[in-house]
Structure 1
Amino acid sequence: MKASVCVFVPADHRFKAAARFLQALWREDRGLAIGTHIDRRNPHRPRRLGSRISTAAGALGSNFLHPDIIPVVTRALTYREPGAAYDVDRLKTNLLSSQPLVFNLFGLLARDLTLATRFVAELLPGTLTSATDILFEHSPGRGDPRFTADRTAFDIVLRGRDTTGARGLLCIEVKYSEAGHEPAPPPHPRHTEIARATSGLFVAPDDPTLTGPACQQLYRQHCLASAMLTAGLADTATLAFIAPTHNQLAHAAAATYTRQLTDPRAGPIPFVPTTLEHAFAALAAAGLPDHARALHRRYTDWWLVDGELDLAATVAAPWDFTPRPPSGSTDASRPAAKASRSDGGTLVSNPRRSHRARTTKRATRTAA
């Protein structure tokens, strides 16, 4: 397994290791040149990393799943908000990052708001009945004391109208391999002020759990959404959280946060955690089935990782107890070699590619 040589990162948790391997397989299947990672502690010794593509491949937009997404990315970078936290190299060359995932998931919707409206109806029914705008890496004012007075922002915000015609915001945080336990910045007094002023949102606005590693990002985003409503930027808001089903650490963090809310579903700003797989299904139902399959293949097709591990175990298992012929026996007396079939034909010369083709076909049927 050539990819496995370049994907081992000791600090990875279990899901992140699997996701990194899946991205490396996706890169290899498309013949994209491997990229490098520079460790800040040892910047003079970059290492090849299978979950990255080369700078040249990144410049061509190879991190994005459809050519129509590339101009959306270009526009978002050109008109980025002051203080927006874009790492352009990471966006273009890091296959594992959630930033390109956000564009791969929402990029085509940004070009077709009718499609975006159908997507929202499938993903989070009862929120927006029409989408009028999509904003990437959005905050109405980083550092502005009218809001959270810090750099808090949303991965994606959809603006539109609800069933009553009220102006609505759908604010979304997207995780892929991240554990959802990012280091917590020092608590900001503005957050506490907003939390106390937003009646019915938090069980205990001063609970230190809210500013701990598991909750702090969602807490800051909820405070930002509340401040946006207070400032008159919308009439209603919903905070959504999207992560792969098997990223149990991220979903555990979301569950911890949910317990801090008075009424997660019907409170003043509902909080709705959901899965990346559900988002892909919503995209397919909205009218983009081929794109949904491409997203599944890249981000959640764990059959491919299982297949590679099974193949490696078959090829190199040290516990192979196949009986050996007695000493001195000839090759003619041995059982038929594994490299030949009973009908006299030969097996495919590249078992890895054959296995991946089978698992891809099986996974596609499952997704459909």
Structure 2
Amino acid sequence: MFDLTYTDRLPLVPEAILRQHKVHEPHDTRFRAAARLLQALWRDRRDIPMGFYVNGKGRKTALGSRLSAFAAAAGANFLSPELQRLTRRELAYREPGAMIDEHRVWSNMLSSMPLTFNLFGGLKLNRDLAHAVCRTLWPELVQDICHIQFEHSPGRGDRTFTDDGTAFDVLLSCRDAQGAKTFVAIEVKYSEAMVEPAARGRPRYEELSETCGLYHDPADPTLRTSPYQQLWREHMLAEQLISSGLYDRGVFVCLAPRLNHQVQQACVGYAQKLFERDGACGFDALALEEMIGTIREAGAEDFAAALHERYSDFTPVHALI
């Protein structure tokens, strides 16, 4: 009998199935279409009311990956009441200038920001779990975690850094085994395809690209365009955390699902542009599935199972095919 299981790819979901579940968006990538359907199926299993969006003609259109206003207000985008409360607190006390779209946080199931709060909020609520997970993933950097910050920038508009609003989705401020100040700066991707609009060019970007010592060719024009431009800006910001003396060592991490090939390929291509230098901020591409597996191995089996079901278990999508 032939093996009918594919572990290295997601299906091209037939349009009829996407329409049936109100998730047919013609411009979705292969991964995004499957992920949108996965979110709709997760919502359906819990009888959570569907939301809508307003199209270009001003018409309300039902969307299976969107929560109704009532469900959004009730916190249905989060895996537990505790995570909902943590998110409300973090949004209330966000850093001045932090760019967070609250509508997406509460109602858009496909957005990477709810994933960020569901995943790293769970670590922030459980210090022992956070230590166990991060010591496993980044053993040379993490002995103790001092702080977990969301949508963090060391200084928006500060010329010491990138002189703009660039920020990390998550920053883990840590100490290593010798007591040195370390960090793990994280960009979280879920269904994005690394084609976000490029930030407006700034002289400070060019200065940092030349002086930071991260790149084989600091003038490489491809660093300034998608799919690399966001990684370029955030990695330079992370390097400045070290150069400015705020931290001794650190790593910039792009966290994304293994089967989101656009993000994974972008990380591979970006890594090839880097110049290895002692003391420089490292770069790491981490699969979401690996982090969830590490959470499971640390003993938080229920939390890992909830994350897996919500974001990385595409069994329900395969079943429809």
TM-score, normalised relative to structure 1: 0.80
Q: Secondary structure at the match of 1:237?
A: strand
1:30 aligns with 46
2:67 aligns with 53
Asked whether 1:248 is paired with 2:261, we answer yes
Q: Deviations over 1:50-104 (max 9, x none)?
A: 0011111111111001221112101111111111111111100111000000011
1:223 aligns with 236
Q: Deviations over 1:243-277 (max 9, x none)?
A: 1111001111111111110129x661110101000
**Which amino acid is the alignment partner of residue 33 of structure 1?**
P
Identical counterparts, % of pairs: 42
Query: Aligned-pair distance for 1:287?
Result: 2.6
Q: Kindly indicate whether structure 1 or structure 2 has the higher relative contact order, using CA contacts under 8 Å at least 6 residues apart.
A: 2
**Which amino acid is the alignment partner of residue 241 of structure 2?**
M
1:281 aligns with 293
Q: Secondary structure at the match of 1:132?
A: strand
Give the Cα separation in 2 of the matches to 1:219 and 1:164: 30
**Which amino acid is the alignment partner of residue 208 of structure 1?**
P
Q: Secondary structure at the match of 1:68?
A: helix
Q: Secondary structure at the match of 1:168?
A: strand
Give the Cα separation in 2 of the matches to 1:136 and 1:307: 36
**Structure 1 gap ranges (5+):** 310-368
Give the Cα separation in 2 of the matches to 1:18 and 1:306: 9
Query: Aligned-pair distance for 1:122?
Result: 2.3
Asked whether 1:4 is paired with 2:20, we answer yes
- Written as runs of structure 1 = structure 2, the 5 A alignment for 1:38-49 is 38-39=54-55, 41-42=56-57, 44-49=58-63
1:302 aligns with 314
Give the Cα separation in 1 of the matches to 2:18 and 2:205: 48
Give the Cα separation in 1 of the matches to 2:158 and 2:20: 46
Asked whether 1:69 is paired with 2:83, we answer yes
Contact residue 214 and residue 256 of structure 1 kept, 8 A:
no
**Which amino acid is the alignment partner of residue 248 of structure 2?**
D
Query: Aligned-pair distance for 1:23?
Result: 0.3
Asked whether 1:270 is paired with 2:286, we answer no
Q: Secondary structure at the match of 1:76?
A: helix
**Which amino acid is the alignment partner of residue 319 of structure 2?**
G
Contact residue 18 and residue 24 of structure 2 kept, 8 A:
no
Give the Cα separation in 2 of the matches to 1:215 and 1:182: 10
1:17 aligns with 33
Query: Aligned pair in 2 of structure 1 residues 36, 229: CA closer, same or farther (>3 Å)?
Result: same
Give the Cα separation in 2 of the matches to 1:304 and 1:87: 29
Greater alpha carbon shift after TM alignment, 223-232 vs 291-300 = 223-232
Give the Cα separation in 1 of the matches to 2:288 and 2:222: 26
Give the Cα separation in 2 of the matches to 1:221 and 1:149: 12
Query: Aligned pair in 2 of structure 1 residues 2, 263: CA closer, same or farther (>3 Å)?
Result: closer
1:339 aligns with none
Contact residue 138 and residue 153 of structure 1 kept, 8 A:
yes
Give the Cα separation in 1 of the matches to 2:81 and 2:137: 24
Query: Aligned-pair distance for 1:2?
Result: 8.8
2:303 aligns with 291
Give the Cα separation in 2 of the matches to 1:145 and 1:113: 34
Residue among 258, 270, 274 paired with 1:261: 274
Give the Cα separation in 1 of the matches to 2:261 and 2:63: 24
Give the Cα separation in 2 of the matches to 1:190 and 1:282: 38
**Which amino acid is the alignment partner of residue 14 of structure 1?**
R
Q: Secondary structure at the match of 2:117?
A: helix
- Written as runs of structure 1 = structure 2, the 5 A alignment for 1:1-368 is 4-39=20-55, 41-42=56-57, 44-199=58-213, 201-263=214-276, 268-309=280-321
Query: Aligned-pair distance for 1:126?
Result: 2.0
Give the Cα separation in 2 of the matches to 1:62 and 1:129: 34
Query: Aligned-pair distance for 1:3?
Result: 7.1
Q: Secondary structure at the match of 2:59?
A: strand
Give the Cα separation in 1 of the matches to 2:244 and 2:195: 30
Give the Cα separation in 1 of the matches to 2:83 and 2:96: 22
Q: Deviations over 1:104-155 (max 9, x none)?
A: 1111211222321111022233221111100001101211212101110001
Give the Cα separation in 2 of the matches to 1:171 and 1:142: 16
Contact residue 59 and residue 92 of structure 1 kept, 8 A:
yes
Query: Aligned pair in 2 of structure 1 residues 305, 119: CA closer, same or farther (>3 Å)?
Result: same
**Which amino acid is the alignment partner of residue 71 of structure 2?**
A
Query: Aligned-pair distance for 1:202?
Result: 1.0
What is the CA RMSD across the aligned residues, in angstroms? Answer: 1.6
Give the Cα separation in 1 of the matches to 2:45 and 2:179: 47
TM-score, normalised relative to structure 2: 0.91
Q: Secondary structure at the match of 2:178?
A: coil
Contact residue 90 and residue 97 of structure 1 kept, 8 A:
yes
